[in-house]
Amino acid sequence: MPFYRKSYRPRRGGEEPEKCADPAKARARALDALSAREMTSTQLYERLCARFTEQAAAAAVAEMVELDYVNDDRYAETRAHGLLMARKSRRAAAQNLRQKGLNSQQIEQALETVYAPDENGESPELEAAAALVASRYRKKLADGRHVYDLVGDKLNALGKDYMGEHGYSSIGLVIGGTHIEEATEIRAKYQDSFFLIPGYGAQGGKAEDIAQYLSKGNGGVVNSSRGILLAYKKQPGVAFDEAAYNECVNMKEAIAHACSLL
């Protein structure tokens, strides 16, 4: 089991003090340290190396691992759960786990388990981020407004200085095409904003839903990734590119028809 130490800085005006080579004493020190808190193998090794030789420290850590008093995989997952509860992003969690001396495989395995979407496809990372934003804006949200109102108002105000010749700002908004209950209100409120509208097709967004986000068929770009890329699966015997083209045409016609009915 390889261990890595941070560089040692000798005491001022002297050399590194002589270290104990007694494995039994290193073992006792390891047990004492682990009784206070759980550690990774690297953390324990670095702590022991402050008083013991590298050989004695490595032997003590190896014994703790064998006894399952130290388990880096378990530590990684437990720590990842704590970081998620603290509303840390997956990237921030990975950085934190690296600082604990865990390797890339242990970190990735823990994050895949803890930050994986639930059975409904909801991302715990997004939920944590939303909760963090809500907590920071709690007072501003007390009047009944939503987080998206605050973000939209800010972007809309910034966009006033970047208006184009067709009446839309070059600063746009991303509006999910599956939240139809807010669509009409959002479109009316941000008439000058150009929308990027994901969610059509595979994610459940329908043409009649998308039409609510547009203004007479204008004011937005509709995104459909899986619906187009996987269209060939719904068109047996049709080539991939032709199936994708057919899906684009069908999508365009469906949205245009839905817009004409408003």
Sheet holding 195-197, edge to edge: 173-174, 195-197, 220-222
Residues in the chain: 262
pLDDT band per the 50, 70, 90 thresholds, residue 31: very high
Among residues 126, 83, 99, the alpha carbon closest in space to that of 42 is found at 99
> What does the pLDDT look like over 207-246, one tens digit per residue?
998 898 888 888 899 989 889 999 999 999 999 999 999 9
DSSP 144: S
Over residues 115-132, the mean pLDDT reads 74
How far is Cα 29 from Cα 60, in angstroms, rounded to an integer?
9
pLDDT band per the 50, 70, 90 thresholds, residue 7: very low
Summary mean pLDDT of the chain: 85
Proportion of the chain above pLDDT 70, given as a percent: 86
- Residue 78's H or E segment, with its range, is helix 72-85
Question: Three-class SS of residue 138?
Answer: helix
* In the predicted structure, residue 201 carries a pLDDT above the cut 60: yes
State the amino acid at position 101 in one-letter form: G
Q: What is the pLDDT of residue 105?
A: 95
Q: At CA 180, angle to CA 187 and CA 137, rounded to 5?
A: 70
By DSSP bridging, strand 173-174 and strand 220-222 are unpaired
Query: Strands (DSSP E) along the chain, which ranges?
Result: 173-174, 195-197, 220-222
Proportion of the chain above pLDDT 90, given as a percent: 46
**1 or 88, greater pLDDT:** 88
Assess contact for 59 and 41: CB atoms under 8 A.
no
What is the separation of C-alpha 111 from the centre of its chain, rounded to a whole number of angstroms? 10
How far is Cα 84 from Cα 94, in angstroms, rounded to an integer?
11
Assess contact for 164 and 194: CB atoms under 8 A.
no
